[in-house]
Each structure stands twice: as C-alpha cells, then as structure tokens.
Structure 1
Amino acid sequence: MIYGAMKFSIGGPLKLAFRPWVEGIENVPAEGPAILASNHLSFSDSFFLPAVLDRKVTFIAKAEYFTSPGVKGRLTAAFFKGVGQLPVDRSGARGAGEAAIQSGIKVLERGELFGIYPEGTRSPDGRLYRGKPGGLARVCLATGAPVIPVAMIDTEKIQPPGKVVPKLMRPGIRIGKPLDFSRYQGMEGDRFILRSLTDEVMYEIMKLSGQEYVDVYATAAKRQLAEQQKTSGTTGPTGPAEK
C-alpha cells in the first residue's frame, strides 16, 4: 500500500518532469522473480527505473537512510521504504555483504524483482567499472532467477555529485533480454564461476549503455581519485551519500 502510494506520488511527477525514454521494457516479466542488474551513474537511478515499470523493484540502501533522528529522519525513512528500498548496514563489517545477499534472496523468493548494481557504487566518471562477483552471482545462483541487464543513460548529467537541484533533461533506460545461468546451478562455491557470470552480465550492460569499460573496481578508482586530489590539494565535489 505504501509503495503504491509513493510510486504514484513520485513516479508520476518524475515521468512528467523528465520524460525518460525506455527501450526493451517488454523484457521485464509480468510476474515471477528476476534480477535487474544495472550500471550506476546517479543517486537517482533507483528512482527512475522503478518509475517506468509496472512492478515493484526492491533495491538495497544504506541503513543510515532509515535511522536518522528527528522529523527529517523519519520522513526520509518513510520515503525510502515507500519507494521499495531495503535497509542494510554496509558500514564496512564483513557481514554487510552477506546481509545484502540474504535480503536479495528473500525478495526473489517472494516472486518479486530485485535491483542490484554490480559495480557496488556509483561510477566516478561515467565509465563502466568491473562488477563485483560476490553479490549478483551468489543471489542469482541461490535463487535460479534470471538476470536482466539494464543500462541507465545520462542520469549522471541530471544530478552530478555536488548538485542539489537536478537539471531537467531526458534520461534513458535500456533493458536487455533475460540471461539464464541455470548451467551454473550448484556452483556458487566456485569463484571462477562467480567471476564468469558477473563478467557476462557486465558485458551485456556495456553493450546496452555504450560506456567505456574499465577493468578495475569503482571503489579502487575512487580511492585513487581521492589520493590524487589530496596530493594536489584539491577536493572533489560531494553529493548525496553513496549507494
């Protein structure tokens, strides 16, 4: 009920204001579990994708979005719950990744759509970075759910890091055909299988998005960028908390 009300109150205005174009929406099944694996360019990705779909999509969000004190904190928590976000404590503990995986499995076991960003964080420069094998691949093999590659287009131009007011322009969403990884069922303990599955999905995302691919993790690229800025005495833009 809350999700439906929030989708109506947020999704409708989003589509009206930004008029996102969509290709391949027929690739999202009308029912049953599926994993939407997307590139990650902007804080707004988790809102634009659900806005154009008829079905609920659940993403993982930082627990801090749900635990901030005061009236603003309660409103923020209600907002993220309403748009289908699940809180997971990802403060750096080793169990954080496992908690996210188990949350995704539960969503899929209910026959719903689970959204995930294989890069693990937003791209620092608009390029596509190496996918992390632990989350996407393990959730896929644990549930047998198909993986649907998704490419968000130009969302980073709407609200770049450090910009509070979004720019009114049309983002795009390309949705690829479902990928079946049943051939790997029962092999979730093989790290080479996890890597192969993840790389196959990233390749499909790259074809859909047209992004330049960088074979390093986005988190490593961000650390390197931060070190360069520290050395040069400059600071990069800051924006909403990373997802």
Structure 2
Amino acid sequence: MLRLVYLVIRFLFEIPFLIFQIKRYKKHPERYSLEERINWTRKLLRKATRRARVKLDISGTEYLPKEGGFLVTPNHQGLFDILALFDALDQPFKIVYKEELRKISLAADVLDNMEYHAISRKNLRQSMKVIRSTTKELKDGLPAVIFPEGTRSREGNHLLEFKGGSFKAAIDAKAPIVPCAMINCFKVLDYNSLKKVNCAIHFFEPVTYDDYKDLTSTEIAEMVQERIQSYINEHD
C-alpha cells in the first residue's frame, strides 16, 4: 500500500492529463487503433514500474513467437504482474481478467480501451463467450494472456492449482502456449515498504500444438504448472 501511495504522489501532476486521455479514448475509440491504445497503456505502465523503485529482470523473450497468436500463461502474484507483462512484451496483446476489477471505474475504462475481456467465474455462459472471443483473436494472430490459477496466489512464490479450462482457447486455436514465471512480483505491493524490490519475469520455450495435442486440458495445466514451479524453486 505504501508503494502505491508513493506512485500516486509521483504521478500527481500528470493524473489530470492521464484521466483526460483515458476518457478521450473511451469516447472516441474509432479515432485510435487498438495498437495505439495498447501502446499508450504500455508506455504509462513502464513509466510506473521505473518510478516504483522496482528492478525487473526480464528473460526468455527470445522464445516468444515472432508471428501469429500465442497464449502466455503466467502464475499470478498480484497487480504488479500486469506491469511486468507490459514491460516484457513489446507487441500488442490481450488479457483475460477477472470481472471484479471492473469495480474500479478508471481501471475498467483502461481495460475497455484495450478491449480486454472480463471473465465471470460464476457465469459459465459468459465464460465460454470470452473463451470463444480469445480463440478467434489467437487465430487472427493476436497474443493473449490468461492466468491459469484464476486468482492471485497469496503464498509468495508457491503456485495454486492451474485450471485446465484456462488453456481451452489455445487448444481450440491450435496456438502455442508460452509458460511464464513471475518471481517475487508479490513483494512490490504486498510489502509495506519503499525499499527497492528485485523481481523477475521469465518466458519459457513455447509448447506447440503438436506437443500437447494428445494431452487433456488438465494434463496440459499440470505440465505447465510443474515447469513454472520448478523454475521458481531453482531461481528464488
């Protein structure tokens, strides 16, 4: 919480313009391409990471496919995970996020501007609609991010169970799956301190459709979870 307050203070004089820009994107989305809107958010969040006294080590970007859609599946440690992803990924991408984030009106505006998908864990029909939309985007060549745990782990670098349904969009699109490890990202906002934080994000070599086509979604989830947890255990 202390670091979040510190960030607000660092952005204090820029906040009116930022709000104006967010509202302008929302009111006139036809004037700006999706790529422009996502890139604007990336620039803002990268600035926030620099100002938050965070040293983010990024590795494995050489494994990211240069063309076509792919699904990034990180473990989930907290809100800073989103900033880490925007710091590490240079191309436009979509994120499937939990519906509860829409309770923060300004956050909802930013997410809507990027046409990100909110998923309701209590509404199966709505969830399937989101998966179908993500599948289409993957087929159209747009990368996507889904957190297979479904919610943030509150156990530090220990992962919660990965859910097989999180991989359905990739399976249906026959798209590569890129496991992604978040390490110590929870410390950025969970610790009530302004001390410099060292954390990391690592992308793994893609799991191609040929690699996983004979596996069930549960088996895929278990395989990806094991790879990420093993990497975290080695590098924590």
Shorter-chain TM-score tier: 0.7 to 0.9
Name the aligned partner's letter for residue 205 of structure 1. I
**Shift in alpha-carbon separation, 1:11–1:18, aligned structure 2, 3 A:** same
1:207, distance to aligned residue in structure 2 (A): 2.2
TM-score (norm 2): 0.73
Q: CA deviation at 1:143?
A: 0.7
Structure 2 residue aligned with 1:226: none
Name the structure 1 match of 2:19.
none
Q: 1:118 to 1:184 in 2, by over 3 A?
A: same
Extract unaligned runs of 5+ from structure 2: 1-35
CA RMSD between the two structures: 2.5
Q: How many percent of aligned residue pairs carry the same amino acid?
A: 22
Partner AA of 1:159 in structure 2: L
Equivalent in the alignment of 2:69: 33
When normalised by structure 1's length, the TM-score is 0.71
1:24 & 1:183 partners in 2: Cα distance?
A: 19
Matches within 5 A, 1:201-212: 201-210=224-233
The residue number in structure 1 matching 2:40 is 5
How many residues end up aligned between the 2 structures? 197
Is contact 2:93–2:145 with CA below 8 Å preserved after alignment?
Answer: yes
Taking structure 1 as reference, are residues 145 and 93 closer, same or farther at Cα in structure 2, changes over 3 Å only?
same
Residue 182 (structure 1) aligns with: 210
Q: Which ranges in structure 1 are unaligned for 5 or more consecutive residues? A: 212-243
Q: How do 1:104-143 residues align onto structure 2 when only pairs under 5 Å count?
A: 104-126=134-156, 127-136=158-167, 138-143=168-173
Provide the rounded CA distance (Å) in 2 between the counterparts of 1:85 and 1:123.
Answer: 26
1:55-70 equivalences in 2 (<5 Å): 55-66=91-102
Change (3 A) 1:171 1:183: closer
The Cα offsets for residues 22-73 of structure 1, whole Å up to 9 and x where unpaired, read as: 111111122211111111111221221122221122111234544x5xxx72
Structure 2: which amino acid aligns with 1:101? I
User: Deviation at 1:90?
Assistant: 0.6
* Rounded Cα–Cα distance in structure 2 between residues aligned with 1:11 and 1:40: 19
Using the TM superposition, give the Cα deviation of residue 104 of structure 1 relative to its aligned residue in structure 2, in angstroms: 1.9
How does 1:49-60 map onto structure 2 within 5 Å?
49-60=85-96
